[in-house]
A and B are shown apart, each in its own frame.
Chain A
Amino acid sequence: MAILLFAEHDNQSLSDQTAKALSAASLIGGDIDILIAGKNAGSVADAAAKLSGVRNVILAEGDTLEHRLAEPTAALIVNLSGDYDTILAPATTTGKNVLPRVAALLDVMQVSDVIEVVSPDTFKRPIYAGNAIETVQTTDATRILTIRTTSFAAATGDNAPAPIKTIDAGSDGTGLSTFLENILSKNDRPELGSAKIIVSGGRALGSAERFQEVMTPVADKLGAAIGASRAAVDAGYASNDLQVGQTGKVVAPDLYIACGISGAIQHLAGMKDSKIIVAINTDEDAPIFQVADYGIVGDLFDILPELERQL
Chain B
Amino acid sequence: MKVLVPVKRVVDYNVKIRVKADGTGVDLANVKMSMNPFDEIAVEEAVRLKEAGKANEVVAVSIGPAQAQETLRTALAMGADRAILITVDGPIEPLSVAKLLKGVVADENPNLVILGKQAIDDDANQTGQMLSALLGWSQATFASELDLGDTTAKVTREVDGGLQAIEVTLPAIVTADLRLNEPRYASLPNIMKAKKKPLETRTPDDFGVTVSPRLRVIRVEEPAGRTAGIKVAGVTDLIEKLKAEAGVI
Contact = CB atoms under 8 A, between A and B. Distances in A.
A105 B121 CA distance: 24
A130 B214 contact: no
B217 A105 contact: no
Overall SS of chain A's interface: mixed
Contact of A310 (B134, B222, B239, B248): B239
Nearest to A97: B141
B249 A137 contact: no
B160 A93 contact: yes
Which has the most chain B C-beta neighbours within 10 Å: A70, A112, A234, A291?
A70
A37 to B, nearest CB: 16
Interface in A118-174: 122, 126-140
Interface string A290-307: 111111111000010011
Contacts of B249: 197, 222, 255, 311
Interface residues of A, number: 91
A86 to B, nearest CB: 15
B235 A109 contact: no
A180 B154 CA distance: 9
Interface residues of B, number: 80
Interface string A91-105: 011101111111111
A234 B214 contact: no
Interface of B: 11, 13, 16-17, 19, 26, 38, 93-95, 98, 117-118, 120-127, 129-134, 137-142, 144, 154, 156-169, 172, 177-179, 213-223, 226, 228-232, 234-236, 238-239, 241-242, 246, 248-249
Interface of A: 10, 67, 69-71, 74, 92-94, 96-105, 107-113, 122, 126-140, 175-185, 193, 196-197, 222, 230, 233-234, 239-241, 246-247, 249, 254-255, 265-266, 272, 275-278, 284, 289-298, 303, 306-307, 310-311
